[in-house]
Structure 1
Amino acid sequence: MVKRPVKYSQVDAFTDTAFKGNPAAVCLLEKEEEQDEKWMQAVAAEFNISETCFLTPISSTQSDANDHSVTRFHLRWFTPLVEVKLCGHGTLASAHFLFAYRIARTDVIEFVTLSGVLIAKRIPTASNVDASKFSDGDPEEHFSIELDFPTIPVLECESADIPSLPETLNGAPMVNISKTAEAGGGDLYVELSSGKTVADLKPQLDEIRKCPARGLIVTGPAPDGSGFDFFSRFFSPKMGINEDPVCGSVHCALVTYWSKKLGKCDLVAYMASPRGGVLELHLDETNQRVLIRGKAVTVMEGSLLA
């Protein structure tokens, strides 16, 4: 049990508007030995939002291969039910917390995670904002964050292999079905006929629980003139999240799918959940990496006392 107060902040990720995007609670621990899994899972259940993140500093600032100063933290992510291996919005929220409160005094953070080392870079978005005017107690919000994540390969999948899909999707017209080859079943990726169909979809959550996958991603081409390339939504009731409002990690697979389909490596994605969120994506085909850029906003702060 943690006996000293633990600072936390709740951050809405992939949005610049409070109460939109995807909420994540970010908890800052002082020592690695405080990372008790049962306690962290209990805290995540208490917050009961799509992700709760736990940060532990590794060392003081050091230099990367390009001689840039970086700060390193251990990072773990928990849904209300389970620990996950990769989380985009939780990483964005954690980086935002560290940058906004100037806990990280560099523009680059390395997170050591279950998926290896993930990099977050601070990208200023308002050059006329003087950060020195903010006191140490107030978060500074005027920047974007770029995440460097691995791509996730997708495999073709036949609808006959998942006979319950038409019922799961309430008869929505399917264009293509893919899946990720990951431990625990991976995710199903279903392209629907249009982004509007994605936004309007009301799937059968009980049927999703029966699917041979961690979760179900539905996606479709964005409407003309929307400013986006594709829409998506992510449903994962097995993990205690009926719908993840904005999921960064599923775009590690979506970017390879839509890049090939649209013939370009720079895309803008919209997650069409009721909260909504925007992700700017760049596919590095040579290194099989995806750069995910987004904004975030702090909506709550406090201390855990138990």
Structure 2
Amino acid sequence: MTMCTGRTRRRALAGAWFCLLAWIMTPVAAVAGEMITIPGGVGRMGSDTGLPDERPAHDIEVQSFRLDRSPVTVADFAAFIRATGRETDAERLEGGAVMSFGTGQWRLVPGATWRTPYGPQRPEAQVDHPVTQVSHSDAEAYCRWRDKRLPTEKEWEFAARAGQDGEPVYAFGDRLLREGEYLANVWTGIFPVLNTAEDGFKTTSPVGAFGTTPIGLTDMAGNVWEWTSSAYAPYGTDTPQADDPAAPRVQRGGSYLCDPKLCHGFRVSARGHATPDSAHMHVGFRCAADILN
């Protein structure tokens, strides 16, 4: 896949046509139903050098399963809404969570929904970007509509590490930059005061814009956090029951708001969490499916 990152776009005007042509010719990665088979096995989960809730690192066993190649896009989610008429939680609760650039403060913005994730006065979501402002319940409903389910946290991390030896830092390897080019959509600059967009994007990016992991998945680091089906608790403590509707749910993968100098949430072992009814401008999801014998 041709990658046109921020550095490329800042080159001489003579090269601009190449990026435009590459963008036009590159197919949208997240085609509904496009999935990658993740062979099962024994793997590692967590990190002894990560944040407290990532410790201790421990072995896990995962059965083979399938995972969406990319996060669900705005176009995919729009098809779901047209078919089902679902009112999302952000629409029902009359708003979603939006962070103010410059202050880092979060607030509930009326009218911030999957269509207008930063509020009704801001541009609409782009169709080839990951859908955001969707709650855990919205994500579950979409996956059911596709005859799928959300991945477990264990499956998500196993897939992020798949195809690599040892204990990689990221789903794409151990370095964030390759030959000066960013390999993920993350915060560049000084959080939350300045986002320099050195990676090419200040908010979400088109799915697949930064290439694939060794096993063929896109956007497993940065761009948007992704809901999992797992209830959240620090490792080694009692985990709330997954059927508890109030239990916070784990999010994985980090987002464009993750600063490598701070949360560093796009590492393979990094964890986020939120209540199931919450919707945020930097959280999306992808679906998984069992492999039937």
TM-score normalised by length of structure 2:
0.29
Q: Which has the higher strand share?
A: 1
Structure label with greater radius of gyration? 1
TM-score (structure 1 length as normaliser): 0.28
